Each structure stands twice: as structure tokens, then as C-alpha cells.
Structure 1
Amino acid sequence: MAAAEPPAAPTAASVDSLAAKAASLALDGSSTLPLWFKPELFLEPAFSPTAYVADLRRYVPLETLSSELHAHLTALKNKLVEVINEDYNDFVSLSTKLVNVDGSLQRMQAPLLELQEKLEAVRSAISEQAGELASGLQRRQAVAEARALLELMQDTAHVMSKVDKLLGEVRAAGGAASEGVSPEELEARCRLLDRVASEVSRLQFYAARGQELEFMRALQPRIDGAAEQLQGSLDAALAATLGSQSPVALGVCLHAYAAIARPQAAEAVVRQTLVAPVVQRVVAEQKAKSPLAGPAGGAQLSEVLAAVSEGLKERCSPFLEHTLSQPAAAQAFNFLGGSLLAEVLAALEDSLPGMFSAGVPATFHANFQAAVRFLDSLEAFCTTQQQVEQLRASPAYTAWMKKWSLPVYFSLRFQDIGAALESKLSAATLQPAPPAGGGAAAQPTLQWAPSAAVWAGLQRCASPDIFLPQLADKFVRLALQLLARYAHWITAGMRQRSEAAAATAAAGGEQQGTAPGQQQQQAGEGGGGGGSSGNGWEVAASPEQLAGLRQDVDTLLAALLSNFVPQLAALLGSMGQEVGEAVAGAFGEAAEELEGAGAALMGAVAASLVDKSVVVLKQLRGIVATFRMTARALPTRPSHYVSMILAPLHQFLQAEVASGLSAEARQQLAAAVVVGVSSRYLHLADDTLSTVRKTESSLKRLKARQQGGEGGAATDTDKMIELQLFLDVQEFGRQAKQASVDASSLDSYRQLWRLVAPQEQAETISF
């Protein structure tokens, strides 16, 4: 018997099963566990230790839980030992019962080794036979390839001799002669040539397959010579066919060209036979009328291309209708591009070499429009979209379009239109708009030259004499740039006007009895305090001029949305609805920017009127001296100057220049002036009351040191001053209401009211 081996270590699966068994033993009814400790939860598949501990720690201390878990672990280990020891004797005696294991293995191994030897012998025999079979297949394949090459050379030689024989028949039948041939003879000759072309096509195919063979390389010159000889006969036959206009012969002849893959040769014959005479005749007739050069070249080119288009339509229509209606011919040949357009382009380059120049934009525009119309006339011959795309993909079409320097043309137009606007915007003062010329009924009425220049630039961008659909994106961008430049000119000017006024005030430029508007003008003339804009139009402009400029902005906005955008949309109508919507959205944003510029103008006008009103408002400082130096009764009515505070606003709104403003602009102006004056009023009133109270405090301290003195008189004066200010502020609110502004809804006025009103009336504004 074999020696007993030591017991093997328990596997993981056995340990898990034993642990489960031990756990079940530990969970009997005799266990003395707390009610909250439930070990059966440990065996559930969804058991989570973290959640278990987090749940128990709310009402069980962690130390108690730890001790219970350690005690449970100890009990499990003890039960595990007991379960293992129950069958330990059987486990140990298992190895002693296994005898003669090696002998059994040897008896089982013997037949397996014998079977392995037989399989190796069979595999060796099969490998030898497979090698012999592969060698035989290789020899067979080599023989087949050699036979195929031999057959290819035999077929090539046979076809070559056949082609030579057929070409001999062609020469015997008359070769390239075409004069005095009847339509039947011409058709028979074309069929013979088509037969030769099919054989030449086979010959070229064989030559391409065996191009690595010396035999084929030696035969290649004969093949090329046969193809050239055939093409010469085909050219003569096609020229004769075009003259006789035989559709059957034409179809057979074109089929022969397609068979030898030489469509360009057929296009050259058509170009020389049909197209060139028409183009040369038209050019000669135009030369006879007038020389094809000079500044009138645009008109001449239009006449030339129109005459060429009519001549080609008359001469080539039957041929083109026949060829373009045949799918095979339409796909193989491109007579519109390779024949018609190529010949016209070559003739124009010889006769009108300067017509493609963009040096004179007006002439270039007329020439390009004539060229586009000519291309449209060629596309009119097409019957399918594929034919149109084939024409546009032709080298002649690409060369035709590259001749026209569209970027140079737009650059010249951009400089012309942009310079016209920039010259008006860079002027030191606002210049009146020139009187409207002819057709002024459709033109908006504008007061100032920059506004008129903007509208003129927009009209030129959409003018049929300037606009080109191929440059639509650039002209739309230019129109938007004109509007943006105009709006920026206004907003930047108003900002610089404000900065100049602030700089003048900071430098002590406010002189006694001088209106701030006059101070700004004096500062502009003196060049001080205004930065780079100290001598610009924005400082010198009066409120009336700014109001007129605001009217121009409103007029431009109305004309832009009602006139210019529809006009531009009509030019872009062929580009799709999405393009139209995008352009309308872009000009909507430009209109919003213009509205912002108009608001800036009204803000500047309001600032000027506020400055004029503050000159009157400064009389508020005299109230203190009046009540302290004179004996006055308790005030019952506002000061006389209050009715004059908003006089500049009333005078401006009643002036003729303000009559052109919209109701909304007038309301915005009045509200802005009242807000500005209220803010300045608040500052002056607060400063005045602060001074009064400081003076009153000083008087009280002085009288306190003088025994027997009375302090009541100063207090009464203080109250009278406050009451007078309250009456004045109340009257100012009434004056604002006459200007259609509800002062009680303005923050600055409410602060002013609370500053001067008695305590019981501070929160209730009443006029």
C-alpha cells in the first residue's frame, strides 16, 4: 500500500460551505444574542456592511457593535473547527485506500502510444501527396499562363492584320475624300470606320494587357499608327457628316470616336467645322462696324456675344439636339465646353485682349454680365442637370471663369463706396446733405451729408449696375459694414462729446454765466480737454443739429427695412429661402445698432439741455441768503426761477427741428432731461441743506456761550428754507408734468422729494 499522504488544505468552496453551515449552527434558538443583532442578514445576497453599520450606529454604540461582531466571529471559528473534525478520519484514510495507481496508468498509456504512431505515419504520407499535388498545380498554372500569353499574342497579331486589311479597304474606298459623296455612301463609309474602330479598340485592349511583353512593345508603333490613321479618316468623315447633317452617319461616327477613346478629337472637328466659322464671321462683322477696343468695350462685348449666341444657335442647334439627346454621346463628349466655349474664349482673347481687365469697374461689370448671359445660353442647350454639370466641369468653363478678376473688381468698388462715406464722416463739422437729384421721389429725405452718404452707399451695393450675384456675400457684408461704421461714428462721437464736457468741467472750464454747451464749443476751439476729439464735429454740434441727425437715423431705419432689405432680397431670391432669412436677420441686428446710435444722440441732446437748465437751477443757492439777510414771512409759493428750469426743454420741443422727431424720441428726450435735472437738483438741494444745518449748529453753539441769548430765530429760518425748497421741488414736478413726464415715477425725483418734504409727506408725492 502506498504511504498515506498528509491531508490537503480545504478549498475556498469547501470553506464557504463550512462557514455557512457553522453560521446556521450558530443561529440556533439557544444563542443569547441581542435583539438588534441579526446574523442571518449576513447571508443575504444584497448585504452591505457599510449600510448595516450606518443603520445600527444610530442606536447602538460602535464599541458594543464591535464586541458583538468579534464574539460572533469567535463562535463561527469554533463551529468551523467542529464541522471539519467530524469527517477528518475519513479524509485522512482516503489516500491509504488508493493502491497500484502507477500500474493502471501504464496499462492505459500503451494503446494510446500505438495510436499516436499510426496517426504520424498517415500524416507523413498525406503531406508527401499534398506536396506532389501542389507542384503539379504550379506546373499546370505556368503552362496555362504561357498558353494565355501565346493566345494573346496570336489574337493581337490576328487583330493587327485585320486592322491593316480594313484600313486598306478604307483607303481603297476613298480615304479622307468627302466631296461628291452621297448620304448612303457616307453612311457606309462611317460604318466601315466604326468597324475599324472596334478592332482598333480590341487591339488597344490587348496591348494594355500584354504591355510587359517584348512582342507587344515591338508592335506598339504599328498600333499607334493605325489609331492615328483611323482618327484622320474619322475626322474627315465627321466633317463630311456635319456638312450633310445625316443623323445616322453622325451617330455611327461618334460611336467610333468613343470606341477608340478620343472624344477630344471629335470636339476639335466640331469646333473647327461648325463653331469657328460662326465666331470668325461675327468678329469680322463687329470689326467692320467699329474697332473692338476702347472704353466702349463693354457694350461691344455684349453685342459680340449676343451675335455669337444667335449664330451658334442657328448653326449648331440640330447637331446639339441630336448629340445631347443620345445618352451615350452626351456622356462621352462635351461639345458645349470643348467646342463652343473653347472657340469663343480663344477668339475673344485674340480680338478683345483687355475685356477681362477690372481696371474700369463699370466696363468690367457690363462685360461679365454679358459673359454670364452667354454661359446661360449654352446651358439652355442642356436637357439634363448632368449635362449642365459636365459643362461647368470642363476645362474651357474653368478657364473662362478664371479670366474674370472678381476679387479685384470688388476691391475697387469697396474702395470707391467706402471712401465716399469716409470722406463725409471725417469732416470736422456736420455738412448739410446735398439736394436730391433725379428720381428723388423714392429717396428718403435726409438732412446731413453722412446720412446721405450711407444711403447712397447702400443703394450702390444693391444697384444692378454694380451688384453681381457671384459676389453677393461680399456686397451684403459691405452694406452691413457701412451701417456699422455710421452707427459707430455716432456713438463714438457722443462718447467723445461727453468726455470733452467732463474734461472741461474738471479743468475748471465752467465760467460764470456761460452755458455748458458754449463751454464745450470754446473748449473745442481751444483744443483743450477733449482728447483726440477736442476739435471734432461732436463738440461743435448744437442740440438742434444732433436732433436733425436723430431724424436721419429714424429715416434710415424706416428706409432700410421697407426699401433696401426687400430690394436686396429680390437680388438674392435665387439663392434660397435660408439665405434670405440670414440676410434679413443680419440687417435686423444692424437696425438695432442704429437704434442704439439714435438713443446716444438723444442722450447728448438731453445732456445739453440739462446743462442749460442747471444754469437756471443754480439760483437755488440764493434762497439761503434771501431768508437770512431779509425778514420774510413763511413762504407760500415757489421761487420765481423754478418755472424757468425746464424752459430750454420746452423751447426745444416747440422748435421746428423737434417737430420731425418721433413721439417716442420726444418722450425719451423729455424724460432724460427731467432725470438729469432731478439728479443735479438733488445734489444742489442736499448741499444747500447741509450748509444750512451746519450754519444753524454753529449759531446754536455761539448762542449757548452767550447767556440770555435766544436761539429760536435761527431755527425758524431753517424751517422756512426747507419749506421753500419743498415748494420749489413740488413746482418742478408740475413743470415736468407739463412736458409729459411723470416725475413721481423717476427715482432721482423721488429721492429729491424725500430730501426736502416734511416728514409726514415724505412718502406721498402730490403736486
Structure 2
Amino acid sequence: MATDLHSPLPKSATDLFGDPIEDSHPLWLNPSKFSDPEFDPESYISDLRTFVPFDTLRSELRSHLGALKHELVELINRDYVDFVSLSTKLVDVDAAVVRMRAPLLEIKEKILAFRGSVHTSLTALQSRLKQRAQANEAREVLELLLDTFHVVSKVEKLIKELPSVPADWSSGIANSTEKGQLSNGNSFQHAENGTNLRETQSMLLERIASEMNRLKFYFTHAQGQQDGFDYVFTNMPFIENMEKRIQSASLLLDTSLGHCFVDGLEHRDANAIYNCLRAYAAIDNTSSAEEIFRSTVVAPFIQKVIPHSSSGVVGGSSGDELEQDYGRIKQYIEDDCKFLLEISSTENTGLHVFSFLANSILKEVLSAIQKGKPRAFSPGRPAEFLKNYKSSVDFLAYLEGYCPSRSAVVKFRAEAVYIEFMKQWNTGVYFSLRFQEIAGALDSTLMTATLVPYQNSSSNQKYSHSLVLKQSISLMDCLISCWRNDVLVLSCSDKFLRLFLQLLSRYSNWLSAGLNARRSSNANANYGFEWAFSATPDDFLYIIHDLNCLEEEVCGNYLANVLELLKSCPSEVLDLVKHSILQGGNSLKTLRPLVLNSIVETLVKKSVEDLRHLKGITATYRMTNKPLPVRHSPYVSGALRPLKAFLDGEQAARYLTSELRKEVLQSAAYGITQQYYELADELVNVARRQESSLQKIRLGAQRRAGASSDVSDQNVSDTDKMCMQLFLDIQEYGRNLASLGVDAANIPSYRSLWQCVAPSDKQNTITF
């Protein structure tokens, strides 16, 4: 036998000089798991490989395999004699097999015979059980049919017992809409007998309806059971005759019940109406009662309120308005319909299945409006549409007032007629028209080429803060229009909130885009922003004032009015609305720095025009023999004149707060000083470069002439004279800033300017 050279020799279980085999394996290798029925070698190896190297695992498994083979060989050698002599002990095996086969075959034949007899008995028993089940089912059906027959007979007998039934009732012809009341020469001669007769008749009809309900249950149940077996009774004359009798009884019941219900409505007999409604509920025919009430009681009055013909021509004088019509209908409901609504809403009577509000009253009102005043639903005239819509919603709320519970209100709103009525009001188209109207008004105003101040506009009387510019007033008018009573539709409040935010965004974009176009100084490339190029600092003051007013108005009274209108909404919705409006109002704050920057840039640009005169200093002192200057230049007085004129102006005093005034002053002073420093620094640098060039030329000429090069000119240079003049100018400039309330020493560009032109002995101290 070949052995693996890499595997160690297996040890005997009785090896005296080594450990037993079961103890030679490492702790992580448990050979007993190999005999487990659920042993999975792949999962076992994958688990071991997480902490045992593959080579070590393979080596241990091969060692275990060698030990198993060695143990097998030892077992064979130990019992080898018995193994070899096993075949010699098997003597006369074939004869023994023959002796045992005969009784086994006999037992098999008996078992097969018994099995056949049992199967035959079982088949016969199952057949008898099936016949028995069919017989039981047939008996049940026959019993149901007999019960149905008895009930049919009972119903027919009760119908014959109806008091004062005219002949046309028994023939199944209903003339309830043609007759004002039921009359019989024998039974309605006296009023007191009429009331008792109606009540008796209604009670009997209720009983008949109850029996008819039981009759339909029996007959339906009997037909359902016929499908489970082979006997079919539907084609039998008995069944066909019973079906005809049931249909005839149903027709007579419907006709008699309809006449009794109409008679009860005409005489307002509460007991008779109650019994008739219970009868309709018992036979599950609520629609007939609702239709009778609609056609008999509701329709005649609605025809008078909203008259119409087949062509839909309105005969009234109220045009397409519905408010007055709804008022008359409400009064009619209170007078003529309330008694029936109260009966049908009585608790614990089972009459909650009726929906006279939706299927009788609202259905007739909707039909009358569609035929008589179809233009009332048209959103093409927004004002009339909104008025009719609100009147209709108020009418629905009035009808909901007759619902006895919250579940009844939910059921009323889920009715098909209610849904159809609400679909007639296309609020989406209405909002689109209002959107075009409101947004178009603002857009046309913002397209104006100039800023138009309206200080004395009567529109300001509507706001707690007076706006100045026409554009701002138009924005506020449009924002208020979103939530006016004659514009707002509560079901579209989310759309009007979005329109509010869009209006603010449109105004903000108009303002920021105009200011950016002004800063880029490219009017041709920014058509539509001409107002920004023609605006003056005073116009920008109007914008700042209006921004402050708009923010306070939107976040104050405007927000309070909107929350008051939406107070019926959940608190979570109100919080979202409040957050949106506040965010929109606060977004106006981001525009104020842009406007202030435009004011400062304009003032700086005007001041730089005067500061450019300092270039004349070069012509004054270059190549001249003028002495050192002793006073400042005239241009200095005009450098801050635009800023001072703006701050002292009437508009700044009126519209500029102290904080904004200080901010404008600081920003303008810093900007003007920066421009002043850049101009002066350029002037001094150019002068010094020119002086250095001239000095080199002189030295070259002196060398060529043989003059001494160490001869120095004791005279003051032209550059020093220029710097002295600039030094005097910036001192005056610093004094002018101080008169405006600005400390020039705190301006970095002024300190740089001082270092540029001040004499060497005054470099470290700024004094005016």
C-alpha cells in the first residue's frame, strides 16, 4: 500500500510510548463531528480557515485519514478468522429460502383479496354517503322552497289586506306624481279616519316589506344550494310560478309603498313616513324613497326658485347669481324638508341608510343649476364665479348641519352627488386667471423705465407703513390681493401662498438685476433695467425705505391677517405658512446692502470727479521755480461735497435712519479715501520716476562737461513740492472728514496716503 510521504505515520491505539490517537489531534479538530448527519464539509472547512492556515488544516486531515485506514486494517486482522469462515457456515441456504417462500406467497394472496373486498365496500359506502348528502341538500332546498311558498302566500294575503287600496294599485300602475293625495270613497271620507288609515297601511306595508326581505333571502339561498348537487329546480313549473308571484308581489309592494309614502309626505304624517322608511330599508330600496322625495317634494319648489326649460333659459331675474337662490332654498328646507330629515336621522332606528340631503336635495339643486344657470359654474368671470362658489360652499355647510354625527358628515361628503357638485367648480382655472391678473399687474409696473415716487398716494392709507415708490405700492397691492376675501379660495390657499412667494421673488429679482446692471455699466446688454441707470441716490433712499416698510408689513399685520384667514387649518399647516411668510419677508433684508452699495458707489464716483483735479499739481510744480506750498488746493473742498450734500438733503433726513446714515458715511468715506490714495500714489510715483530720470541725465551731462559729480543741489526738488502740496491737501481732507464725523486716522487707505506724501519727520504722527 502506498502512503503519503508528507503525512506522519499513524500511531497505534496501544502505543506505549506516545499519546492515544484521540489525544493526538489539536483542540480545534473534533473528528466526532464528521459522523454528524447534518455535517457540511464546506462550511466546516470555511469556519476553520478563519483561524487555522490551509496547510495546517490539510496536514491534520491527512493525518486523521491515515489513522482511520490503520484502524480499519487492525480491525480486519483482529477478526480475520471469523471473516474467512463466514462462507463455510452458510449451508443449505437455497432450501431454506424455498421453505419460507410458500407461506409468504399465501399471505400475499390473502392480503390482496382482503384489500379488494375492503375497496369494494368503501366505494359502496361513499356512494351511499353521497346519495345521502344529496338527499339532505335536496330536502333543505325543498324546505326552503316550501318556506318560500308559505311566505309568498303570506305576502299575497297581507297585500290583499291593505286597506283602501285603489284598483290601479293592484294592477301595478303607480300614479303618485299625478295625484295630489290618495282617496277612496269609503276610507277617506273623514280626516280622522284618514290618519289612522295611513298609519295602519304603513305598518302593514312595513310588515310586508319584512316578509319580502325574508322571502328574497329564502329564494336566493335555495338557488345557491342548487349549484352543489345534480338536482336543478329552476326549470320546474313550481319554481317558475313562484318567481312570477314574487315579482308580482314586489311590484305591488313598491307601488303601494310609493303611494303611502307620498300620501304621508303630503299630510306630514310622521308615523306613516317612519313606517314607510323602515319598509324601504327592509327591502334595501332606499333609492326609490330618495327619488320619490326629490320628485314629489323638492323638485316643484326648486323649479320655482331656479326656473328652467328644456333649452336651459333662465326665467328668473337674478341672472347667474346663486346667493339669493340658496337663501330661498334654505328657508324651504327649514319649512318643508326638516321634518323628514329629522325622522331619517333618529338614532337607533336603522334609517341612517337614507341620504335625502345628497340624493334628493343636493341632486335636484345641482340639476336645476346645470339646466337653469349653467354660466354660474364658469370661471371666466372670476368675481361672479367666486361669489357663487362661496355661496355654494356655504350651502353645503348648511346641509351638513343636518347631519347628526361626524360619521354622517363623512358619508355625506363621500356621496357621488356631492363629489359631482364639487367638480363643477373648476377652482384650478379660476386661480390661473387670478394669477395672470395679479402677477400681470406687478410685472407691468416693474417694466416702467423710471422709479416713480408716490408720496401722497391714496394707496398708502391701506398700510400701516407708507410706501413711496409706485413699484413697491404695486407689490403690496398684489400681495394683499392674494388673500382678499373677494379673491381667495381656501381650497387653493397653497397656490395663493406660492403666488405670494413668487411675487416677492419677482420684486427681488427686478431690484437685484437692475442694481447689478448698473454696477456692470452695460445698459445695452441689460434691456429693461433703465430705471437703475437713471436712479439717483435719493431714489435709492426710497427703495431702502420701501424695503423696510415691506418687511415690517409682511412680517406684521400681513402675517396676522393670513393666519386669521387660515385659523381652521391644523397647527402644523399654520406653522408652515407662518415660516414661509416670515422667510419671504426677511428675504427683503438681503436687498438692502445692494442698494446701499449703489448709493456709495454713486457718491464715490461723483467725488472722484473732483479728486482728479489733483493731477494739476504736476503742471503746477514740474519744471517751475515756485516756492513750497503753504495752503491746500481748491479741489479738496469739493471732494466731500457730494457726500455732505446727500447727507444734509431732505430725503436723507426723512428716510435714512441713524444706523444707515452712519453706514453710508463710513462706506463712502472709505471708498473716496481709497480712490484719493490711488490717484495720489500714482502721481507721486510718476513724479519720482521722472525726477530720477532727469537726475541721471544731469549727472551724465556734468560728467561729459568735466564738472565735479559730487556737487549737490541744495534746492528743494519738484517732487518734494508736489508731496508737500498733497500733504497739505490730505490734512484739509482729514479735517473735512472730521467735520462729517469720520476719524481719518482710522481709515487704512488714509494712513497709507499719509505715509506716501508726509515729510519724514511727520510720518509716524497723523495731525491735522
Q: For the residues of structure 1 that align with 2:12 and 2:354, how far apart are their CA atoms?
A: 87
Q: Which amino acid aligns with 1:163?
A: V
Deviation at 1:639, TM superposition (A): 4.9
Q: By how many angstroms is 1:329 displaced?
A: 4.1
**Which residue of the other structure, out of 230, 242, 249, is the alignment partner of 1:226?**
249
Q: Does 1:276 align with 2:299?
A: yes
The Cα shift of 1:732 comes to: 4.9
Number of aligned residue pairs: 693
Deviation per residue, 1:319-364 (Å, 9 max, x gap): 2223212355453100111122222233334443332223322222
Percent identity of equivalent pairs: 31
Helix, strand or coil at the partner of 1:531:
coil
Matches for 1:174-253 after TM superposition, within 5 Å: 178-179=182-183, 180=188, 181-209=193-221, 210=223, 213-214=234-235, 220=243, 222-253=245-276
Are the structure 2 counterparts of residues 85 and 133 from structure 1 closer, same or farther at C-alpha, using a change threshold of 3 Å? closer
1:516 maps to which residue?
none
Indicate if the aligned counterparts of 2:213 and 2:282 stay in contact, CA closer than 8 A.
Answer: yes
1:652 corresponds, among 627, 635, 646, to 646
Helix, strand or coil: the match of 1:170?
Answer: coil
Report the counterpart of residue 77 of structure 2 in structure 1: 93
Q: Does 2:722 correspond to 1:699? A: no
Aligned residues of 1:496 and 1:533 also touching (Cα < 8 A)? no
Larger CA deviation: 346-355 vs 551-560: 346-355
Aligned to 2:614, which of 596, 600, 620? 620
Partner of 1:457: 478
| Deviation, structure 1 residue 668 | 3.4
Contact 2:737–2:744 (8 Å) recurs in 1: yes
Q: Give SS of 1:573's match.
A: coil
Q: Report SS of the residue matched to 2:450.
A: coil
The 1:441–1:404 alpha-carbon spacing in structure 2 relative to 1, beyond 3 Å, is: closer
The AA in structure 2 aligned to 1:412 is L
The separation in 1 between residues aligned to 2:159 and 2:274, in whole angstroms, is 21
Check conservation: 2:680, 2:726, Cα contact below 8 A.
yes
Distance 1:329 1:283 in 2: 34
For residues 674 and 17 of structure 2, the distance between their equivalents in structure 1, rounded to whole angstroms, comes to: 90
Post-superposition CA distance 1:280-332 (Å, at most 9, x none): 45558xxxxx96357x643xx22221122122112222322232123554531
Query: CA offsets, 1:239-263, max 9 Å, x none?
Result: 2223444443333211110111111
- Match of 2:390? 369
CA distance in 2, matches of 1:92, 1:726: 124
Q: 591, 598, 601: which one pairs with 1:597?
A: 591
8 Å Cα contact 2:145-2:219 kept in structure 1:
no
Q: TM-score, normalized by length of structure 1?
A: 0.76
Q: Which amino acid aligns with 1:338?
A: N
- The letter for the 2-side match of 1:620 is L
Q: Equivalent residue for 2:328? A: 307
For residues 410 and 401 of structure 1, what CA distance do their matches in structure 2 show?
16
Which of the numbers 535, 547, 557 marks the counterpart of 1:563? 557
Amino acid across the alignment from 2:406 = Q
Equivalent position of 2:682 in the other structure: 687
Shift in alpha-carbon separation, 1:313–1:16, aligned structure 2, 3 A: farther
Residue number among 340, 355, 376 corresponding to 2:376 in the alignment:
355
Where 2:376 maps in the other structure, the secondary structure is coil
Q: What's 1:511 paired with?
A: none
Which residue of 550, 571, 575 maps to 1:581? Answer: 575
Structure 2: distance between partners of 1:227 and 1:573: 54
Shift of residue 158, structure 1, vs aligned partner: 3.5
Q: Secondary structure at the match of 2:686?
A: helix
- Partner of 1:358, secondary structure, is coil
Q: Deviations over 1:367-389 (max 9, x none)?
A: 22222221121111112111111
Task: Evaluate the alpha carbon distance shift between residue 694 and residue 283 of structure 1 in structure 2; reply closer, same or farther with a 3 A threshold.
Answer: same
Structure 2 unaligned residues grouped into runs of 5+:
31-46, 170-175, 228-233, 308-313
- Alignment partner of 1:575: what SS? coil
Paired with 1:79 and 1:308, the residues of 2 have a C-alpha distance of 104
Q: 1:163 corresponds to which residue?
A: 155
CA contact (8 A) 1:461 1:479 kept: yes
2:33 matched to which residue of 1? none
Matched, 1:662 2:657: yes
Match of 1:492 in 2: 513
Q: Kindly tell me: are residues 719 and 138 of structure 1, through their superposed partners in 2, closer, same or farther at Cα, counting changes over 3 Å?
A: farther
Q: What is the correspondence of 1:277-356 to structure 2 with a 5 Å cutoff? A: 277-280=300-303, 282=305, 292-293=316-317, 297-298=320-321, 301-356=322-377
Moved more, 566-575 or 439-448: 439-448
Secondary structure of 1:702's counterpart equals helix
- Cα distance 1:673–1:439, how it changes in 2: closer, same or farther (>3 A)? closer
For the structure 1 residues 254 and 149, does the alpha-carbon distance in structure 2 shift closer, same or farther, using more than 3 Å as the test?
same
Provide the rounded CA distance (Å) in 1 between the counterparts of 2:428 and 2:288: 36
Write the deviation string for residues 733-762 of structure 1: whole angstroms up to 9, x where unpaired. Answer: 665565555666667667666766789999
Q: Which residue of 1 aligns with 2:172?
A: none
- Matched residue type, 1:233: S
Contact preservation (8 Å) 1:254, 1:329: no
Taking a change above 3 Å as real, the CA distance of residues 153 and 764 of structure 1, as seen in their structure-2 partners, is farther
SS, match of residue 355 in structure 1: helix
CA root-mean-square deviation: 4.9
Task: Compute the displacement of 1:152 (Å).
Answer: 3.8
Q: Which structure 1 segments of 5+ residues have no match? A: 1-5, 26-38, 54-68, 285-289, 504-528
Which one of 594, 605, 621 corresponds to residue 611 of structure 1? 605
Relative to 1, partners in 2 of residues 1:702 and 1:540: Cα closer, same or farther, differing over 3 Å? same
The answer to which of 157-166 and 752-761 deviates more is 752-761
User: What amino acid is aligned across from residue 275 of structure 2 in structure 1?
Assistant: V
The answer to which of 171-180 and 272-281 deviates more is 171-180
Q: Which amino acid aligns with 2:453?
A: P
Deviates more, 1:707-716 or 1:258-267: 707-716
One-letter code aligned to 1:433: Y
Partner Cα separation in structure 2 for residue 411 and residue 208 of structure 1: 55
TM-score norm. by structure 2 comes to 0.76
Q: Which has the higher helix share?
A: 1
1:677-698 per-residue CA deviation (whole Å, 9 max, x = no partner) reads 3443343344334423432442
Structure-2 change in CA distance of 1:81 and 1:477 (3 Å) = closer
Q: Secondary structure at the match of 2:468?
A: coil
Q: What one-letter code is carried by the residue in structure 2 that aligns with 1:603?
A: N
- The 2-side partners of 1:51 and 1:643 are apart by 91
SS at match of 2:548: helix
* AA matched with 1:93: N
Of 753-762 and 448-457, the range deviating more from structure 2:
753-762
Give the counterpart letter for 2:504 in structure 1: L
